[in-house]
Amino acid sequence: MLKKRVITSLWLAPLAMAAVWFGDMPLLVTFLVAALGLITVLEFYRMAEGVKAKPQIIFGAIFTLVIILLRDPKIQDYVNQHYDINLALPTLLTAGLLISLASLLSRPQKFGALPGWAWTWAGVFYIGWLLGFITPLRFLDDGRNWLYLALFCTFSSDTFAFFVGRACGKHKLAPSISPAKTWEGAIGGLLGAAAMSLVFLLPTPLSLTAHLNWWQALTLGALVSVFAQCGDLVESLLKRNTGVKDSGTIFPGHGGALDRIDGVIFAVVLVYYWVVLVPH
Model confidence at 18: pLDDT above 60: no
Going by pLDDT thresholds of 50, 70 and 90, the confidence category of residue 229 is very high
**Residue-wise pLDDT tens digits, 252-279:** 666 788 988 999 999 999 999 999 998 8
**Residue-wise pLDDT tens digits, 175-216:** 999 988 999 999 999 999 999 999 999 999 889 999 999 999
Write the CB contacts of 14 (distance below 8 Å, at least 6 apart in sequence): none
Percent of the chain with pLDDT over 90: 68
- The pLDDT score that the predictor gives to residue 250 is 72
Write the CB contacts of 119 (distance below 8 Å, at least 6 apart in sequence): 44, 45, 48, 53, 55
- The pLDDT score that the predictor gives to residue 11 is 45
Going by pLDDT thresholds of 50, 70 and 90, the confidence category of residue 59 is very high
pTM: 0.90
- The pLDDT score that the predictor gives to residue 212 is 95
Whole-Å CA distances, 82 to 76, 79, 85: 10, 6, 9
- Nearest-angstrom CA–CA distance, 208 and 124: 32
Model confidence at 12: pLDDT above 60: no
**Residue-wise pLDDT tens digits, 80-92:** 998 898 899 899 9
More confident site: 249 or 75 = 75
- Nearest-angstrom CA–CA distance, 139 and 143: 5
- The pLDDT score that the predictor gives to residue 92 is 93
Whole-Å CA distances, 190 to 59, 80, 195, 229, 265: 38, 42, 9, 9, 17
Give ∠ CA 94-234-171 in degrees, rounded to 5: 160
